[in-house]
DNA sequence: ATAAACTTTCAATAATTATTGAAAGTTTAA
DNA sequence: TTAAACTTTCAATAATTATTGAAAGTTTAT
């Protein structure tokens, strides 16, 4: 496999994986492109490489910046804006996990807490609803805590040492 | 909040959360409904409660069974089929994590390995592609291992003890 | 102040994904 | 074997989500 094939394969795989980390295809592809680029890219560069429109590129770059994954780079003497992505995978994972937690997990935890806190009217179905949503709340909360704590460790040794525990 | 409101809120929240664990809305809602039900439900029950068609119910129940989350229950003397879901959240999490790993993470790991194994032609861009996809491969692999190992522990004490490590 | 170079916005459209409903299929009871 | 009771399938349709492209907006240089 040559460079161009490998690049294409990586970009499109990462793109279709977007759903796994909760973003759309174009957004994931732009990030992938920047991730393996050796220099900042302009909107033109991205449009040409990915064959997507200017509007699409602009909107998705903005979203990536909102996530804190991509930043504008000003190149002196250049009129165009250039973009780069976080290049360190650990840091990337940290940002993504934090954002997903904030955007998706926290709201669900809130609802689960609410639902599991209704007053017990003594009926079996109410008891079951409370019991099950409480269990889900605890699990979600625990998982969320773990993800955040794991991902906040900047050093890799923690990951390794935890892994050892389970080997 | 009364029982019916709480039930509705839970079912619809869990439904819209479907995307987070990679399944569609109806599928997640059916699972949610079964999860808080005190007895197995028939297709009719589910259709009526969720206001969805017979075809939709049938297809999504089949998918939930493929995932291994829902099972058919034969009730003696009854002609209809009844359905139940796994009620233990830990076990539920185990099944879901395992399936997602198998369906989505493994294929990506495979591609990352492939791409990061192209022959180094000495150019800077190839070096960068190899370096970055390798880093992504390692991270994804480590995360996948951790998820699987954590989730395979049936007892909750492991989770608690890991958590303590990071407090 | 003007115009060129560039970016953003957003209504229209395309692509994708979910849902329906009715016909075909299956199982059970008599 | 027939018919009633039930489930599955799948082409048509609806709903949702992503993408385009051109007009409007912004910035910079002269």
CA-atom Rg of chain A in angstroms: 21
Identify the three-state secondary structure at position B79.
coil
What is the tens place of the pLDDT at every residue in B121-163?
999 999 999 999 999 999 999 888 888 877 776 555 445 555 5
What is the tens place of the pLDDT at every residue in A9-46?
999 999 988 877 788 999 999 999 999 999 999 999 99
pLDDT at res. A163: 53
Instruction: Indicate the pLDDT class of residue A150, thresholds 50, 70 and 90.
Output: confident
In angstroms, the CA A6 to CA B18 distance is: 32
pLDDT at res. A159: 52
Q: What is the CB neighbour count within 10 angstroms for residue B165? A: 12
CB B91 within 8 A of CB B151: no
CB contact, 8 Å: A10 with chain B?
yes
Q: What is the CB neighbour count within 10 angstroms for residue A77? A: 5
B14 CA → C20 C1’, Å: 23
CB A95 within 8 A of CB A149: no
- With a pLDDT cut of 70, the percent of chain B lying above it is 91
In angstroms, the CA A165 to CA B149 distance is: 10
What is the tens place of the pLDDT at every residue in B63-100?
999 999 999 999 998 999 999 999 999 999 899 889 98
In sequence order, the 6+-apart residues with CB closer than 8 A to the CB of A4 are: none
Stretch (H or E) spanning A83: strand A82-85
Question: Which burial class, exposed, middle or buried, applies to B141 when counting CB atoms under 10 A from its CB (0-12, 13-18, 19+)?
Answer: middle
Q: In the predicted model, is pLDDT for residue A153 greater than 90?
A: no
Name which of B14, B159, B165 is nearest A142 (Cβ-Cβ).
B159
| Nucleotides on strand D lying under 7 Å from protein C-beta | 5-11, 17-23, 28-29
Q: In the predicted model, is pLDDT for residue A161 greater than 90?
A: no
Q: In the predicted model, is pLDDT for residue A93 greater than 80?
A: yes
Sign of CA dihedral B59, B60, B64, B66: positive
Yes or no, beta carbons of B139 and A10 under 8 Å apart: no
Residues contacting nucleic strand D by the 7 Å CB criterion are: A 24-26, 51-56, 59-60, 79; B 42-44, 54-55, 58-59, 61-62, 79-81
Identify the three-state secondary structure at position B117.
coil
């Amino acid at each position: 496999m040559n460079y161009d094939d490998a690049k294409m394969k990586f970009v499109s795989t990462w793109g279709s994986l977007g759903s796994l980390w909760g973003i759309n295809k174009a957004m994931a592809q732009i990030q992938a492109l920047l991730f393996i680029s050796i220099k900042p890219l302009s909107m033109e560069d991205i449009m040409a490489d990915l064959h997507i429109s200017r509007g699409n590129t602009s909107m998705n770059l903005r979203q990536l910046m909102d996530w804190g994954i991509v930043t504008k780079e000003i190149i002196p003497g250049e009129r165009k804006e250039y973009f780069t992505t976080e290049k360190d995978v650990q840091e990337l994972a940290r940002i993504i996990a934090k954002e997903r937690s904030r955007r998706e997990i926290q709201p669900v935890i809130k609802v689960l807490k609410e639902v599991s806190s209704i007053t017990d009217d003594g009926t079996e179905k109410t008891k079951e609803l409370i019991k099950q949503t409480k269990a889900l709340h605890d699990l979600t909360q625990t998982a969320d805590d773990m993800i955040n704590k794991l991902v906040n460790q900047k050093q890799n040794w923690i990951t390794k040492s935890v892994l050892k525990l389970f080997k």
